[in-house]
Amino acid sequence: MGKISTSELREEVISILKTVIDPEIHVDIFELGLIYGIDIKEGGEVYILMTFTSFLCPFADMLIQQVELGVEGIDWVKSLEIDITYDPPWTEAMMSEEARLEVGLL
């Protein structure tokens, strides 16, 4: 297995996150603004800070599982830690322009 830079691994992680679709809004969780932070350490340690559209999101477990399966499936990822936060609470303003266009907010 070759070596990958932390910036390249970050792009791989983002690519995976863009495949995880929120089933209620039908937009990927990255463009939706649910990913508050991604930290990549040398050696393939990945930390993701994320939230949900609401505290009572019925799909929270499913979304976490999809993130875990996808990110842990990247060859260069040695460990993954996911933390959930509700501070600050998610709002539609956190959505990318692309996501807002997709759901008709622009």
**This prediction's pTM:** 0.92
DSSP 1-36: -----HHHHHHHHHHHHTT-B-TTT-SBTTTTT-EE
Q: Tell me the Cα Rg of the chain.
A: 14
* Res. 1: pLDDT tops 60: no
Confidence of residue 105 (pLDDT cuts 50, 70, 90): confident
pLDDT tens readout for residues 22-54: 999 999 999 999 999 999 998 899 999 999 999
Identify the pLDDT of residue 2.
Answer: 62
The torsion defined by the Cα of 29, 75, 45 and 56, in degrees rounded to 10, comes to 30
Q: Which domains does the chain have, with CATH numbers?
A: 6-102 (3.30.300.130)
